[in-house]
Amino acid sequence: MIRADHILQVRWTAGSGWQTPQIAPYQQIELDPAAAVLHYGFECFEGMKAYKDAWGNARLFRPEINLDRLNRSAARIALPTFDASELLKLIVRFVKLEERFIYGKPGYSLYLRPVIIATNSNLGVTAPTAALLYCIACPVGPYFSAGFKAINLEATSSAVATRAWPGGAGNHKIGGNYAPCIAPEKAAKARGFQQLLWLSGADDRITEAGTMNLFIVLRSEQEEQFELITPPLDGMILPGVTRDCVLSLARERLRPSGWIISERQICMSEIIQAAGAGKLVEVFGTGTAAVVSPIRSIQYGDTLVQCGLARHQRAGAITALFKEWIEARQYAVEEHPWSVPVSQIS
Ligand SMILES: *Cc1c(COP(=O)(O)O)cnc(C)c1O
């Protein structure tokens, strides 16, 4: 992984609050072996991108959502929160220093990784008394450099493996949510699947796939009426920025032509029934890394559910449309308030 040149760092202590921010050359961070992050997982993070528009201006995409989410994640694990507008200004200073890593080509961007960890070194399991907020970055290219690649999911019921549970912290971007998913995911990969589809409850409700939010397009009873469905923000899924973009764009551009846009529970049984009746049109995942990720099939026990793609088709039409619509705003091909030139933030 190529990394950008710098690291943004801000230290915090319970006694003195946040210290003066520093941007330094990229470097190792020094931690006491007893640091709380290494023992109890006090860590939260964000994933966001800086883009370059056709005129060469660096831009951020809905950054306030990421920074508010970072604060909610931090609060959930008793880490200190930060003034989101001040952090945005720091990130802008950081991005300006790293501008040469934002290649002005379609699909390229600078991935930004803000993190907060607990650095206090007492072994008691208590609220952190010292923390470090930092941000690093790396340039990334198009996720699908050779065209879309549809993936096959293996559905796993929550009795077998789960990433989130009612009252848990699955709706936050905290490190502790990710490591426990890797062993079940590795096992699914060995069986030939690219990602797990995490189900919830005895009725096998859909939650998320890997680290993507999930969308399902159904043709409804009345022929030629369509429903776009995604699970609700009930604490079991991560509130994705890309998820929100898809919902907003769908309400703006699909609802006027009769589409139903639903944030609602959907079980495997409904998906299987729709597929059997020829009404499962498309399934796709969303996230900052890929924008949208087409899904070809879902293995559910002994049942293989085909998700509407023809054999040689790489992505559904609606999936491809959302990618086009979202990227048009990210790269300011369509001028829209979601994309902010860093020069306008100070
Ligand atoms: C980050 C993440 C997503 C996607 O969120 P975006 O804001 O769209 O990038 C979805 N699910 C999980 C578990 C995640 O960590």
Q: Rounded to an integer, what distance in angstroms lies between the CA atom of residue 264 and that of residue 70?
A: 25
Residue 220 in tokens:
């409804």
Contact between 300 and 153 under an 8 Å Cβ cutoff? The reply is no
pLDDT of residue 122: 86
Atom of ligand 1 nearest to the CA of 213: 10
> Nearest 5 degrees, angle CA 84-CA 87-CA 88?
85
**Residue 328 backbone zone (phi > 0: left; psi -120 to 50: alpha; other: beta):** alpha
Report helix angle 84-97 to 63-76, nearest 10. 120
Q: Rounded to an integer, what distance in angstroms lies between the CA atom of residue 17 and that of residue 29?
A: 20
For residue 288, count other CB atoms closer than 10 A to its CB.
22
Q: Rounded to an integer, what distance in angstroms lies between the CA atom of residue 209 and that of residue 199?
A: 9
Q: Rounded to an integer, what distance in angstroms lies between the CA atom of residue 33 and that of residue 304?
A: 48
Q: Whose CA is nearest to atom 2 of ligand 1?
A: 211
Residue 89 in tokens:
């200004």
pLDDT digits (tens, 9 = 90+) for 318-346: 999 999 999 999 999 999 999 999 999 97
Pocket test for ligand 1, best of 171, 174, 213 (most atoms within 8 A of CB): 213
Atom of ligand 1 nearest to the CA of 48: 9
> Nearest 5 degrees, angle CA 52-CA 142-CA 115?
70
pTM of the model: 0.97
| Phi, psi (rounded to 5 degrees) for 339 | -105, 125
Atom of ligand 1 nearest to the CA of 287: 8
171 Cα: distance to centroid of ligand 1 (angstroms): 9
Q: Rounded to an integer, what distance in angstroms lies between the CA atom of residue 310 and that of residue 270?
A: 21
Say what percent of the chain tops pLDDT 70. Answer: 100
With a CB cutoff of 8 Å and minimum separation 6, the contacts of 26 are 3, 4, 5, 6, 7, 136
pLDDT digits (tens, 9 = 90+) for 247-291: 999 999 999 999 999 999 999 999 999 999 999 999 999 999 999
pLDDT digits (tens, 9 = 90+) for 150-183: 999 999 999 999 999 999 999 999 999 999 999 9
Comparing 72-86, 121-135, 216-230, the range with the smallest average pLDDT is: 216-230
Please name the residue that has the structure tokens 């890593």: 101
Q: Rounded to an integer, what distance in angstroms lies between the CA atom of residue 121 and that of residue 154?
A: 41
Q: Rounded to an integer, what distance in angstroms lies between the CA atom of residue 153 and that of residue 195?
A: 5
Pocket test for ligand 1, best of 178, 185, 212 (most atoms within 8 A of CB): 212
pLDDT of residue 220: 86
With a CB cutoff of 8 Å and minimum separation 6, the contacts of 6 are 23, 24, 25, 26, 94, 97, 98, 137
Half-sphere exposure of 90 (CA within 13 A, CB side): 23
With a CB cutoff of 8 Å and minimum separation 6, the contacts of 72 are 172
224 Cα: distance to centroid of ligand 1 (angstroms): 31
Residues in the chain, overall count: 346
pLDDT of residue 292: 97
Alpha helices in the chain (DSSP H): 36-40, 63-76, 84-97, 179-190, 241-253, 268-276, 317-330
